[in-house]
Amino acid sequence: MRTSRRHFLAGSAAVGIGSALPVHLARASTPEIHARPGTAQIAPAKYAPTKIWGYEGTVPGPTLRVKQGERLVRRFVNELPQASTIHWHGIRIDNAMDGVPGLTQEAVQTGDSFLYDFVAPDAGTYWYHPHNRTWEQLARGLYGALIVEEPDPPETDRDEVLLIDDWRLTEDASIAENFGAMHDWSHGGRLGNWLTVNGNGDYRLDVKQHERLRLRLINTSNARILSVQLRQMAGWIIALDGQPLETPESAGTITLAPAQRADLIVDILAADGGEAFLASAEGDSGYAMATFTVTGRTRDKPLADPAPLALNPVPAPDNLSSARLTDLKMEGGAMGRMSSAMMGGKMMGIRDLVGQGKAWSFNGMADMPADPLLSAARGETVRIRMANETAWPHAMHLHGHHFRQVLDGGKTGPLRDTLLVNRGETAEIALVADNPGDWLLHCHMVEHSAAGMMTWFRVS
């Protein structure tokens, strides 16, 4: 399956017989996606463009679109100076296509490629990103949106994808290279100092009054939890993490932990000459993340409230009370009580762990355990109770499945693939383990997962 990139080298002897034909013709039937260095104007124009890593050398990478139930085929070609993979975040995917080095595939070395070929069973807003040295590669700009289109999309005037990222830039607008900083890894992760939407620090869209937009928000930050508010727009949340809500919810403050998505329907309220905003509501002040400049009007009055999207074919967990319960204890980090954890099969003190780049543990283990957290029979309903005994919030992401949070009184929350578990909180999730394979469960503050917050489960 793997091919080297030698065939791209003009005049290379490796091309051999048939080299009279342009090589790209021979491969024309398989679309490719290249990860490579590039530049992007993410800071204001007075700065030089920033050197980034991007899919097709751009940030964000190309928005990939596929219809629900159809196949996505991309040959991933790695032109980065490091090994990489692509993880298709939130897709209930064939395990072999999940992009996890050491678990589902080998990391793709520089100059090598890997054929991703899978069916997207659920409509919604997803994204793709590397799963090798994610704490560096994601911070350098490697990500893009993957949109799975509904057969019958809701009535809107436009559909806009907004990838929100948090960059750590130096004074000359280069990406700060202190990726492995242990202080970040043991605290809140790599937090940045420059927010962009679609790679733009001053993202603007021209709109009309009463225009109806679908906004697909994706938090691609390494570690920042976003708080988003709408100004001069009426809005509803119609889906979270790609999965439709049974009833659209009026949008107040929308919390987006790293990797989470929210699909909104918004109606522009501001009149001709005015502005509407997506505002970041961190702390007591807010600032504009995206500005919508209003010229003219689309219709005399807003459309009627939106109808729910059709649900995806995700099985519902049943018999929760008799389902097997697995505990996951999350420990470590600054201001935590963890003094030791298992690593490489040995008990190690916190100093030695930190020396190995570890600061957190799951069930007392600071590295990927040899055995799965749980082994489920295919189709079994399982519950995982995650106890956050750290002083930090964590964005827990499960691969290959969507789950529901089990709430008080046996109620369940919306389907999600990433759940924010606040400090000191215990959150229980339930799912039908119907997708065979080995799947990660980790914190999506990617410094935390690299520093110990990673485990896996098996469905067979």
The site for ligand C2O (CB under 6 A) is made up of: 87, 89, 129, 131, 259, 397, 399, 440, 442, 444
- From the list Cu ion, ligand C2O, none, partner contacted by residue 279 (C-beta under 5 to 8 A by kind): none
Residue positions counted in the chain: 460
How far, in Å, CA of 413 to CA of 409, rounded?
A: 12
Backbone angles phi, psi at 99, to 5 degrees: 75, 25
Q: Which is nearer to ligand C2O, 87 or 133 (CB)?
A: 87
Rg (CA), the chain: 22
For residue 89, the minimal CB distance to ligand C2O (Å) is: 4
Pairing assessment for the beta strands 158-167 and 212-219 based on DSSP bridges: parallel
For residue 243, the minimal CB distance to ligand C2O (Å) is: 15
Closest CA to 204 of 314, 291, 268, 142: 291
How far, in Å, CA of 42 to CA of 50, rounded?
A: 7
For residue 100, the minimal CB distance to Cu ion (Å) is: 18
What SS3 state is found at 375? strand
Q: Which is nearer to Cu ion, 214 or 394 (CB)?
A: 394
Q: What is the 3-state secondary structure (H, E, C) of 82-141?
A: CCECCEEECCCCCHHHCCCECCCECCECCCEEEEEEEECCCCEEEEEECCCCHHHHCCCC
Q: Which is nearer to ligand C2O, 358 or 444 (CB)?
A: 444
Q: Which is nearer to Cu ion, 87 or 448 (CB)?
A: 448
| Closest chain position to ligand C2O (CB) | 89
Q: Which is nearer to ligand C2O, 62 or 274 (CB)?
A: 62
How far, in Å, CA of 222 to CA of 446, rounded?
A: 6
- From the list ligand C2O, Cu ion, none, partner contacted by residue 448 (C-beta under 5 to 8 A by kind): Cu ion
- From the list Cu ion, ligand C2O, none, partner contacted by residue 259 (C-beta under 5 to 8 A by kind): ligand C2O
Q: Which is nearer to ligand C2O, 92 or 212 (CB)?
A: 92
For residue 442, the minimal CB distance to ligand C2O (Å) is: 6
- From the list Cu ion, ligand C2O, none, partner contacted by residue 397 (C-beta under 5 to 8 A by kind): ligand C2O
Tell me which residues touch Cu ion (CB under 5 A): 394, 443, 445, 448
Closest CA to 403 of 437, 372, 441, 366: 441
The number of helices, as runs of H, and strands, as runs of E, in the chain is 5, 32
Identify whether 101 is preceded by a cis peptide bond (ω within 30 of 0).
no
What the block records as the tokens of 385 is 């109770």
For residue 441, the minimal CB distance to Cu ion (Å) is: 12
Pairing assessment for the beta strands 261-268 and 212-219 based on DSSP bridges: antiparallel
Q: Which is nearer to ligand C2O, 43 or 451 (CB)?
A: 451
- From the list ligand C2O, Cu ion, none, partner contacted by residue 89 (C-beta under 5 to 8 A by kind): ligand C2O
- From the list Cu ion, ligand C2O, none, partner contacted by residue 394 (C-beta under 5 to 8 A by kind): Cu ion
C-beta of residue 250 within 8 angstroms of C-beta of residue 225:
no
Closest CA to 309 of 247, 401, 234, 216: 247
For residue 104, the minimal CB distance to ligand C2O (Å) is: 11
Tell me how far apart the 2 most distant CA atoms of the chain are, in Å: 70
- From the list Cu ion, ligand C2O, none, partner contacted by residue 440 (C-beta under 5 to 8 A by kind): ligand C2O
For residue 99, the minimal CB distance to ligand C2O (Å) is: 8
- From the list ligand C2O, Cu ion, none, partner contacted by residue 140 (C-beta under 5 to 8 A by kind): none
For residue 181, the minimal CB distance to Cu ion (Å) is: 16
Q: Which is nearer to ligand C2O, 163 or 270 (CB)?
A: 163
Backbone angles phi, psi at 335, to 5 degrees: 65, 15
- Which positions ≥6 away from 21 have C-beta within 8 Å? none
For residue 57, the minimal CB distance to ligand C2O (Å) is: 21
What the block records as the tokens of 416 is 């999600």
Closest CA to 256 of 125, 360, 367: 125
Q: Which is nearer to ligand C2O, 60 or 306 (CB)?
A: 60
- From the list Cu ion, ligand C2O, none, partner contacted by residue 443 (C-beta under 5 to 8 A by kind): Cu ion
